[in-house]
Amino acid sequence: MKSEQESQFTSAFQPSFDEISPSLYETTFVVVDLETTGGSHNSAAITEIGAVKVRAGEIVGEFQTLVNPESPIPPFITVLTGITDAMVIAAPKLGEAIFSFLEFVGSSKDSVLVAHNAPFDIGFLKAACAKLEISWPSYQVLDTAKIARYVVTRDEAPNCKLSTLSTFFGATTNPDHRALSDARATVDVFHGILDRLGSYGVKTLEELKSFSTRITSAQRSKKYLAEGLPNTPGVYIFRDEAGIPLYIGTTRNLRNRVRSYFTAAETRKRIHDMISLAHSLDVIQTATIIEAEVRELRLIGEKQPRFNRRSKFQAKSLWIKLTKEAFPRLVAIRGAKGLDDESGWAGPFNGRDESARAIEALYEVTQIRQCKPRITLSSMKSASPCALFDMKRCGAPCIGQESIDSYSSHVTAIHQSLHIDSRPILNSLNERMKELANQERFEEAAEVRNRLGALIRGSARAQSIRSLTRVKELIAAIATSIDTWEFVVIRHGKLAASATAKSDNYKEVVESLKLTAEVVIDNGEILPASHHEEVEVLLRYLNQEGIRIVEIDGIWALPTFGSAAARSEIEKVRAQVGANSYKEDFANSVDRFAQRSTN
């Protein structure tokens, strides 16, 4: 039994104020939103700061300021936010704006920062403080996007974007990509989230902070699924009670990766939902990590697991091609079936918008027809030309104004650009972009730039993919340690076999691989034996530093003046742009503004 003195001491003990987590009702939150010139705080700058201070469910203050980024605002950012160079020329510079903002927020003991997709906004604010050589106050930070994933189901809202959640929670302010408006909308979303968290028993700041990093009961109860796994490369498959795959993944170390799903480090709500349904786990050990990656792609495409997001619709990727008819036209299609080397094609593209931009890029500098009907001798008698004929952007083959031989020059130019020499069309697009920029039609110039980029990316991917699928057999190796090598056999763009071997017996391993590797037949299609994602995984593997070509049956090469070369040149130019080049650009933009004001 405790002595009387001990009992008195115990009953008299009280925790300090620092040890008591404040209730949410007592906590002051500052909801912040930024507008910037780009997506990375390493290369972009802040253009606007908006913040709303709330306490006990009431707004107690607001803060808003434009910020002079000391660099031109890209046209697409101006279109998105409405913030122009003219608006920020007289605005406070970064130092003044940051000091005013920090003064509004107060100390880290007074306020808690809240943001939607907090790593973005807080990342820019921390980078700004580092640039100004001031210490960042150790604010506690809450991310409404992260917490919302735990309290809003996919049936209620398809995603956790601010616009989606604002509509769902009935926000009084619509987010419009202006800092203060978005901060006000985030306040309403935050209050909606707090209302829901009440049913989870979340009443204090500490409980709210730990809510999105907690280990669920399903994670605790199903931790046994990670027991006894090997620490080798491979594929893991979570299955439900009926044995249907829920999620398929790949890793270099099966034991460590699968264990991570049952720790607090796994915060994705989608994965938590998957684990709650998981009943069993299968693993497939592989000789190499590249084999594991390829097996994962194939299994996802075949099994269509509900909790995987990428690679489920490899056969439905978007491509563009020239149709086979007397007067071909450009079309976007789903799937690579029907593509061949005789007609022009490019892809795959990341979405319908990207493929449409690539087609529009070719429309911009060629007179390929844009109408859809098939042109025949009988159709020419009743057809009438469209406005493009009057604009001299089409030769009107629909009414017989352009012969098949004459029209074929446009087709040949596109085919050459997509497969052999991209310079004529890319140079024409560059000239068009410069012409628009010189006329200060910056939004149109930016659109041409986007079209040019889409065309380069799509045709470069096509040329890279076809360069590998033409090769009958390629054996490559890479060192994994001082005396161990990894070997792969690739046939027509498909991984046929892989293995590891010691330096002293690699010849025997290579011969064995050649004999036991999967037989792959070239069926004449651009993807004879696999989907494009597998080919691109293999291309990344083959292009890594240290790879060695052991044997090759065929020619693996890209067009000297193809789009792949153009993409490489663009990347080099971007890498060479100096950190201070923005000063000259900004000075030029100020001069242009002054000239417009004078005129």
Per-run averaged pLDDT (10 residues), the chain, 599 residues: 41 42 87 94 93 94 95 90 93 94 92 94 94 92 89 85 93 93 96 87 82 76 92 96 96 93 82 94 95 96 93 89 93 90 90 94 92 88 86 88 92 92 90 89 89 93 94 95 93 95 86 92 89 95 94 93 79 49 43 43
Q: Which residue do the tokens 């995987």 mark?
A: 308
Task: Determine the pLDDT at residue 594.
Answer: 44
Task: Determine the pLDDT at residue 15.
Answer: 43
Q: Which residue do the tokens 């493009």 mark?
A: 388
- Going from the C-alpha of 535 to that of each of 427, 434, 462, 527, 550, the distances in angstroms are 29, 36, 11, 9, 19
Residue-level length of the chain: 599
Neighbours of 406 (CB within 10 A): 12
Is 177 catalytic? The answer is yes
Burial code (b: 16+ CB inside 10 Å, e: under 16) for 498-512 equals bbebeeeebeebbee
SS3 content of the chain, % helix, strand, coil (to 5): 45, 20, 35
The whole-angstrom separation of Cα 194 and Cα 208 is 9
Task: Determine the pLDDT at residue 140.
Answer: 92
CA dihedral (492, 493, 499, 504) in degrees, to 10, reads 70
Q: Which residue do the tokens 């506690």 mark?
A: 140
Choice among 177, 272, 279, 531 that is catalytic: 177
- Rounded to two decimals, the pTM is 0.66
- Going from the C-alpha of 258 to that of each of 263, 277, 284, the distances in angstroms are 10, 16, 13
The whole-angstrom separation of Cα 433 and Cα 328 is 27
- Going from the C-alpha of 391 to that of each of 12, 163, 431, 512, the distances in angstroms are 91, 41, 19, 64
β strands within 123-258, DSSP E: 141-143, 234-239, 245-251
The whole-angstrom separation of Cα 542 and Cα 475 is 10
154 within 8 A of 172, measured Cβ to Cβ: no
Task: Determine the pLDDT at residue 571.
Answer: 64
200 within 8 A of 57, measured Cβ to Cβ: no
